Structure 1
């Protein structure tokens, strides 16, 4: 008996008393296949049972298994519904469906009419869709449908946290009965992960083990390399190597479940981690890696990184072994590394783009903060998503859904793609835009080794999407036959999925009232991309390299194989951060060439036209340029034939103040006037005279440079009149009188004065020129004595004094004796 059946009575009893339940059951307990059946026979559920699965593969396989157990044809009592397939009927009681399908269902029918229970399986994966499904189902229960049952289950769930959040009981079931020996590397390895896996497989098989082997790798590329590494080794027995990932055709996926004449070695992504059971697997070799999508809300870019999995995910993978007999799990990392890993994975709500989710909620009349989240999203990510939706025209400045937003919300896709389709309808190029949108929304149809043959384009405006569109049409002509597509460098299954998505999009457009038989030119399609990816417009300033300046003032580079390499300006549908040997790089891909004038045609409101006044150091002149920018990206500049003198004056004054430009007429007379005026202002504070502060000097400089735009026009301009003109005529005369340049002494001699703000004025005179001048001369109507520098016959200072009377009385008698002896020919009184 499966372990989950041991708690069937508890499950049924709890669901009769409560409308929510959290179930924790380890891998191998049978929860995925049995719990829906338990609900069906519990008597607690009236209506259809919806079982949400994180992956299409799991939904299809589990539905087939449950239908087989119930003796029902698939699509009758038990069915499934995924993005591309639907096997349900009016008689379906248990429906397995992907989380995205459920969200569209509740969006169309907020009451979930006819549904009696919602089961969230593998909830520990914490996808954004599952978190949203939980919040919406809970809200529906509390607001309108208390009889609706909600079951949250997983193999590695933090039961208390989820049960506490939901305020419901938790049930724990036991797991497998066979032991699994866990092996670690003694120390971190340096060789490629696929070579490590091949070596681990050799060691495993040399130990005489029995049973199938399951190897976990992060992606399709690593799966191919692992199979290649394994096939290069010599084995004592025949091995049947099988890839398994979500991108394979259904028949190739099913091959992993079918018996094989040789011993199977299945190399899979994390699709084999949960829900599905591969018969006969007794040994797991785990790379400990997974490809994880992250969205950086600060930079607005998507990052696809290979990351170490959490301890919980490692336990899930380990649980694939030992289902029917004792098994082994070889972890390709050390035990110390294992316990340094996080206990659980970061929930998607904390690491992915939220724009589509927010738009869905807005269309349903809900606010994100109005839902009870198990963990709320980061505020920065929410802000970024709201800004994007506003940029796409889906929300107004008050974050209210617009008519455009209602249009976009009708499409089950990222708002960028729906914006692309709406714009394509307006430009009468919807037929081709459907293909472009599908190519953007799905995985790349070009296979890596042969991509270069498609990067040449005859189009006037080359586009990576036009390249893929041509490849897709070739695949379609070949009826998506695998070998034919492979010879063309195309992934047949990816092309087939693009065709399926195109059909879905066409139906959705028809339902939304968008129809067009016009294919349109690539030019029009690229304009549609501007509307959808307005914030990913870039400019190549140097055709010799791939570096680009991007809207938002980011520095990025164009993908090396891009067909848009000849373009100066382009729009990229994908911005991603990749890790290379030289560090992290931000790369633009899926790019299309555009013309600058298209920006004003498509997004006129985002184009800013301004006049920049700048200094041309080479010409030593102020110039004005008309600058056009888009989302902060300057893409066009034009030198104006004439420069406005008013802003030019600001730059000329700034250059003068910084010492870069010298006014030749700003001489000693100017400096002395400034000093005299400042001294008089200090001696007569009651007058409130101008003191030529930096601000007041700036006004004067503006007057000096008025009307000029070039240095040559101001270099020899008079400066003193402008400075004096800052004072009234009366104040100018007052300064002249109170701080004269020359002072008439009592003996008739005219003494030249020098002024410095904050100090007494200074005069220099030979001692004989001061005979008969008994008192120190003064200015400012006697308020300020002059500091005299008394010179000898040799023109050198004998004394500096501000008290001439004291000098004559106390110092001069002794000084005169010495001077008479040294200079007997001079008069000494």
Structure 2
């Protein structure tokens, strides 16, 4: 007997006494399949069971219908975005969370259901959190009779029960035990190689049963299957490798979960983590990784990053091995690493774009996001970003209230940006094509990776637009009837193409119900202008046609996807901007994709409120000159720069000075003579404080620079300009004479030699002379009226220093006799006194 059945009476008693229940039960205990049957059977209830994924929605419905001996679509049915099997007889309905949330708009009291079951709530999707809050609110107002069951294997049940003010039921014990093994990585192997090693060892143990391998994404799944097929080719036992992820065609998903004649190796993403039972699985190999969507509300960037899973997710994955028989779970990390991992995953509400959820809540009468009864409130910055976006899309007014347009957008089953695109397309009479574009933008890409070369260049005479290319490719797939192999030969994903057309029909029907004019194909330019209205903050410019680097509003530096047809354009709208981990370079890069060329003149036509035009003095790096220009900006993105004849002299002077200070322009004659003058003056400032000489600090140096560049606007005019007079002329004529007298460049010796004096920032001034030139000098020479001795570097006949001193008398008395003895022997022809 399934463990959950032992708690049947307790569950029903709680739902008789109240209208909410939190249920925790280990993976494999039967909660997903049995609870809906119990509720229907014992209460004759109409049950809605919410699942986070389409795959689980369909497969669990099939399993429950089979167990109840009914045809799928009769007593038990399911609904996903593109697939539905229900009838007037359906009493247990499995739905995706997103679809259920949309149904709340048309049926705000949920009159067609008696009980709502939120399954696998530990995944904490945005839709699940929003649904939870809405049902709690509904129960407290117009539907106190509506029952709610929230369940998962790894819930924080106490906290959730406190939020719902309801009891909990905890079912214990798996149907079958699972042996947990840890296999930490000894090298920096990629996850697919480590999984292959573990799989090889597992198969050599001689254990029975199929194997489920968890990988973070489709890319890693393909690499794992390829590596395993090569590594295990010599084994006598035939193996059936099956991928499993959400975007696979249904028949391939069914093949992965069904029993087969050969031993099966299923390599899956976390879609296999919950709810579904894969026949024959006895062993799990877990990479411990998942690809996680994160949204940066400050930059408006979506990131898809590979991250370590939580302890709760690891427990869910391990449970896949104990559903049909005792099994094993090999974790490709250590037990210490397991303990260091977070206990649970962060709720999606705290890491993704909230614009869609915000629009739905506002359309259902929630005045502000802060008023909503969140289980975990989203970040304030994310709230503000969502509200700002909806305001920019005209869905909200300046007071944050929903506009008539906003109500219309909320009725369209897509992100507010695409909804705004469709609304504008109806106004411009091009909605017939716009629904196709929206489907291509909103669903997964129809092009297979790596993208075929034919899809990377726009045909002659057509705009450089990725959506136009995909629109044409979709027509080709229709002609092929979406046949997988035929489409693949054309570089197309037949299943994705079919799904895009299904979404097109979905959007067209939704637009019709929302009262939008669905007729008219319009021009490509019309469609691009509609995109510009909706993706106003995704405008990018390429400054250099030789690179893929682009500039975007917000002063972001991003890179255009190298396969984008927009490589032929200088200005475009990028519908996707993502941070992606490079597979080979262990780093993250920000890339633009689904890019579509636009005319920059459209910026002023579509968004005049974002345009500023100023006359500015700017630096032309190529000409190395200051120029006056009329600068057109879209937000802070310069899209037009028109040089004019009149140059603002003061601004030109400031630009040249700033570039000199930054080290970007070099004054060739700012030489040692200039530096020595500055050091001489600074020395005298210290020795004669009463004189009040300047020190040539940063501000005073900038005054000098300003004098040097006066009247110039090109680097060539100042590059070889003599700088010393400008530096000296900061001082009065009298102070200049004082510097020349008190800090001279030379000192006359009795021998007639003029000894050069070098000034230093970190020591006394220094003179250099041979011993013979100093014979008639008994005391150390000084400058500045005797206030500063010179540091003498006394040289031998070979011009090497024999002594450095500021006490010449002591040198003659103590050091010279020994020096003379040695040097006279080596250089007898020189004068020695």
- Residue in structure 2 matched with residue 304 of structure 1 by the alignment: 304
Secondary structure (helix, strand or coil) at the match of 1:197 reads: helix
**Change beyond 3 A, Cα 1:542–1:36:** same
Bigger shift: 629-638 or 125-134?
629-638
Offset at residue 570 of structure 1 (A): 1.1
- Residue in structure 2 matched with residue 355 of structure 1 by the alignment: 355
Aligned equivalents of 2:622 and 2:463: distance in 1? 37
- Residue in structure 2 matched with residue 117 of structure 1 by the alignment: 115
Aligned equivalents of 2:623 and 2:452: distance in 1? 50
- Residue in structure 1 matched with residue 680 of structure 2 by the alignment: none
Residue-by-residue CA offset, 1:305-357 (whole Å, 9 max, x unaligned): 11111111111010011223221111122222222211111110010000001
- Residue in structure 1 matched with residue 563 of structure 2 by the alignment: 561
- Residue in structure 2 matched with residue 745 of structure 1 by the alignment: none
Offset at residue 199 of structure 1 (A): 1.9
Aligned equivalents of 1:615 and 1:25: distance in 2? 67
| Match among 496, 506, 511 for residue 504 of structure 1 | 506
How do 1:258-657 and structure 2 match up within 5 A? 258-366=258-366, 367-458=368-459, 459-580=461-582, 581=585, 583-613=587-617, 624-642=628-646
Aligned equivalents of 1:659 and 1:472: distance in 2? 56
| Match among 205, 214, 217 for residue 216 of structure 1 | 214
Assess if the C-alpha contact under 8 Å between 1:211 and 1:280 holds in 2.
yes
Secondary structure (helix, strand or coil) at the match of 1:157 reads: coil
Offset at residue 433 of structure 1 (A): 1.6
Tell me, yes or no, if structure 1 residue 54 matches structure 2 residue 55.
no
Secondary structure (helix, strand or coil) at the match of 2:407 reads: helix
Offset at residue 104 of structure 1 (A): 0.6
Secondary structure (helix, strand or coil) at the match of 2:528 reads: helix
Aligned equivalents of 1:392 and 1:126: distance in 2? 28
Offset at residue 609 of structure 1 (A): 2.0
Aligned equivalents of 1:426 and 1:379: distance in 2? 34
Offset at residue 293 of structure 1 (A): 0.8
How do 1:726-765 and structure 2 match up within 5 A? none
**Change beyond 3 A, Cα 1:311–1:472:** same
Assess if the C-alpha contact under 8 Å between 1:288 and 1:331 holds in 2.
yes
Structure 2 alignment gaps of length 5 or more: 662-710, 715-731, 736-833
Assess if the C-alpha contact under 8 Å between 2:614 and 2:630 holds in 1.
yes
Offset at residue 614 of structure 1 (A): 5.1
- Residue in structure 1 matched with residue 783 of structure 2 by the alignment: none
Assess if the C-alpha contact under 8 Å between 1:621 and 1:709 holds in 2.
no
Offset at residue 179 of structure 1 (A): 2.0
Offset at residue 482 of structure 1 (A): 0.7
Secondary structure (helix, strand or coil) at the match of 2:370 reads: helix
RMSD (CA atoms): 3.1
How do 1:672-821 and structure 2 match up within 5 A? none
**Change beyond 3 A, Cα 1:652–1:320:** closer
Offset at residue 393 of structure 1 (A): 1.6
Secondary structure (helix, strand or coil) at the match of 1:635 reads: strand
- Residue in structure 2 matched with residue 663 of structure 1 by the alignment: none
Offset at residue 101 of structure 1 (A): 0.9
Secondary structure (helix, strand or coil) at the match of 1:236 reads: coil
**Change beyond 3 A, Cα 1:282–1:136:** same
Residue-by-residue CA offset, 1:212-239 (whole Å, 9 max, x unaligned): 1111112222222211112113222111
Bigger shift: 346-355 or 273-282?
273-282
Tell me, yes or no, if structure 1 residue 240 matches structure 2 residue 244.
no
- Residue in structure 2 matched with residue 152 of structure 1 by the alignment: 150
**Change beyond 3 A, Cα 1:625–1:162:** same
**Change beyond 3 A, Cα 1:449–1:597:** same
- Residue in structure 2 matched with residue 786 of structure 1 by the alignment: none
Aligned equivalents of 2:571 and 2:600: distance in 1? 7
Query: TM-score, normalised to structure 1's length?
Result: 0.77
Assess if the C-alpha contact under 8 Å between 2:617 and 2:651 holds in 1.
no
- Residue in structure 1 matched with residue 12 of structure 2 by the alignment: 12
Residue-by-residue CA offset, 1:438-485 (whole Å, 9 max, x unaligned): 111111111113432311211442111112222111111100001101
**Change beyond 3 A, Cα 1:609–1:13:** same
Query: Rg: which structure is higher?
Result: 1
What is the count of residue pairs matched by the alignment?
674
How do 1:149-188 and structure 2 match up within 5 A? 149-188=147-186
Bigger shift: 268-277 or 397-406?
397-406
Offset at residue 129 of structure 1 (A): 0.6
Offset at residue 68 of structure 1 (A): 2.1
Residue-by-residue CA offset, 1:498-551 (whole Å, 9 max, x unaligned): 010011011111112223443333322222221111101011111111111101
Aligned equivalents of 1:331 and 1:561: distance in 2? 37
**Change beyond 3 A, Cα 1:64–1:622:** closer
**Change beyond 3 A, Cα 1:215–1:710:** closer
Secondary structure (helix, strand or coil) at the match of 1:339 reads: helix
Offset at residue 414 of structure 1 (A): 0.5
Secondary structure (helix, strand or coil) at the match of 2:221 reads: helix
Structure 1 alignment gaps of length 5 or more: 661-707, 712-752, 757-829
| Match among 140, 143, 160 for residue 141 of structure 2 | 143
Aligned equivalents of 1:461 and 1:658: distance in 2? 40
Offset at residue 166 of structure 1 (A): 1.1
Assess if the C-alpha contact under 8 Å between 2:652 and 2:713 holds in 1.
no
Assess if the C-alpha contact under 8 Å between 1:620 and 1:710 holds in 2.
no
**Change beyond 3 A, Cα 1:659–1:358:** closer
Aligned equivalents of 1:641 and 1:112: distance in 2? 70
Offset at residue 617 of structure 1 (A): 11
Aligned equivalents of 1:435 and 1:617: distance in 2? 44
Offset at residue 596 of structure 1 (A): 0.8
**Change beyond 3 A, Cα 1:620–1:265:** closer
Secondary structure (helix, strand or coil) at the match of 1:625 reads: strand
Offset at residue 11 of structure 1 (A): 0.5
Aligned equivalents of 2:256 and 2:611: distance in 1? 55
Bigger shift: 11-20 or 70-79?
70-79
Offset at residue 618 of structure 1 (A): 12
Aligned equivalents of 1:532 and 1:370: distance in 2? 27
Aligned equivalents of 2:81 and 2:625: distance in 1? 64
**Change beyond 3 A, Cα 1:658–1:455:** closer
Secondary structure (helix, strand or coil) at the match of 2:565 reads: coil
Aligned equivalents of 2:463 and 2:149: distance in 1? 53
Secondary structure (helix, strand or coil) at the match of 2:211 reads: strand
Query: TM-score, normalised to structure 2's length?
Result: 0.76
Bigger shift: 110-119 or 651-660?
651-660
**Change beyond 3 A, Cα 1:203–1:112:** same
Aligned equivalents of 2:434 and 2:182: distance in 1? 50
Bigger shift: 138-147 or 513-522?
513-522
Bigger shift: 197-206 or 459-468?
459-468
Aligned equivalents of 1:118 and 1:133: distance in 2? 10
Secondary structure (helix, strand or coil) at the match of 1:565 reads: helix
Aligned equivalents of 1:621 and 1:472: distance in 2? 51
**Change beyond 3 A, Cα 1:144–1:634:** same
Aligned equivalents of 1:69 and 1:181: distance in 2? 29
**Change beyond 3 A, Cα 1:754–1:238:** closer
